[in-house]
């Protein structure tokens, strides 16, 4: 079964085009270094029946004028993820991007690594 790094990120709607441009570049870098897939999704339907669950904006502590990004990168295994991430962090393209201003606050990003248990 695959391994997934997942992210939830609040992003200002004003800076969404910039975020997606950077995310697209990062996806190319991750895939060039061995990641299987990279998905960036922008919140569309955030209606949650009362008492059923927490909506993503609440989970992400999104502020007025922000939307939520839900993204994930797929790898062969956790070990594969660790190797790919090590390469990505040394990739000159990524190092250059990391010096540029970010259109979001990385400290507000939720992140985790997940073992895929059902892949239907």
pLDDT digits (tens, 9 = 90+) for 82-120: 999 999 999 999 999 999 999 999 899 999 999 999 988
- Percent of the chain past pLDDT 90, that is, above it, reads 78
Residue-range domain boundaries for the chain:
3-45+54-115
**Rounded to 5 degrees, what angle do the CA atoms 15, 107, 31 make?**
70
**Rounded to 5 degrees, what angle do the CA atoms 37, 41, 45 make?**
145
CATH-assigned architecture of domain 3-45+54-115: 2-Layer Sandwich (3.30)
List the structure tokens of 53. Answer: 């669950």
pLDDT digits (tens, 9 = 90+) for 47-56: 777 777 888 8
Output the CA torsion sign for 26, 32, 35, 36. Answer: positive
| Three-class SS state of 87 | helix
């Amino acid at each position: 079964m695959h391994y997934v790094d997942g992210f939830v990120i609040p992003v200002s709607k004003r800076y969404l085009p910039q975020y997606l441009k950077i995310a697209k570049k990062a996806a190319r870098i991750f895939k060039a270094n061995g990641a299987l897939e990279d998905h960036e999704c922008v919140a569309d339907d955030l209606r949650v029946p009362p008492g059923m669950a927490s909506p993503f904006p609440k989970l992400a502590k999104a502020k007025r004028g922000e939307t939520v990004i839900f993204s994930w990168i797929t790898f062969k295994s956790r070990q594969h993820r660790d190797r790919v991430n090590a390469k990505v962090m040394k990739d000159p393209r990524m190092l250059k991007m990391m010096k540029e201003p970010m259109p979001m606050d990385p400290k507000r990003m939720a992140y985790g690594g997940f073992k895929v248990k059902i892949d239907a």
